[in-house]
Amino acid sequence: MRRGFIIKSLDGNITLTLATTEPTPGALRVGRYYVNADAGREASELLNASLRSYDVIVVDEVGPMELGLRELRAAIESLLLNISKPVIATFYYRLNEVYPRLYSLLTQGIAIYLNEGNRYEYLRRASELARWLVGEACGNKRGEGLTLHT
């Protein structure tokens, strides 16, 4: 049984509690979860630090909980408005209905719509997609190499 959600850096050094099923004073309620307001500030700091340190940025996921945190939503919008590095982002499929501007920013690049019918095809192609991203990241650094944490 799911009891909450965390935000975790890919290198495993930082873990933040995004939401739990336990009621918390002052928390934003999304469905049956209580979203930790402090996680927005901390996650936006993590995202900004990643922009300075890494060549490929991964955000999984941009959904109602993450967007309910004003600071995190602003950091994600800033990232997408000032893209200087390849970004991989998963996002809530109905995002266009709630945040059309953010949806527009997320879909101005290459958008892959995953569903039950095609997910195994993209899983099979994961290494091909990863090689393409590495190529994009190296191209942005003019061949200086890649800093990628997986």
C-beta separation of 44 from 30 below 8 A: no
Domain for residue 20, yes or no? Answer: yes
| % of the chain residues with pLDDT over 70 | 91
Domain for residue 129, yes or no? Answer: yes
Domain for residue 146, yes or no? Answer: no
| CA max distance for the chain | 50
Rounded CA-CA distance 138/150 in Å is 16
Domain for residue 145, yes or no? Answer: no
What does the block give as tokens for 72?
Answer: 């995190």
Boundaries of domain holding 21: 4-140
- 124 pLDDT higher than 50: yes
- 64 pLDDT higher than 80: yes
Helices (H) and strands (E) in the chain, counts: 7, 6
CA dihedral 116, 34, 22, 11 (to 10 degrees): 60
Amino acid at position 122, single letter = Y
C-beta separation of 62 from 90 below 8 A: yes
Domain for residue 86, yes or no? Answer: yes
- 141 pLDDT higher than 60: no
pLDDT, residue 34, reads 96
Domain for residue 149, yes or no? Answer: no
Domains in the chain: how many in total? 1
The per-residue pLDDT for range 92-106, each reduced to its tens digit, is: 888 889 899 988 988
- The residues near 15 (Cβ < 8 Å, ≥ 6 apart) are 6, 7, 8, 9
pLDDT, residue 55, reads 79
Domain for residue 148, yes or no? Answer: no
The per-residue pLDDT for range 4-53, each reduced to its tens digit, is: 999 988 888 889 999 999 998 889 999 999 999 888 899 999 888 888 88
pTM (2 d.p.): 0.77
Q: Is 121 helix (H, G, I), strand (E, B) or coil?
A: helix
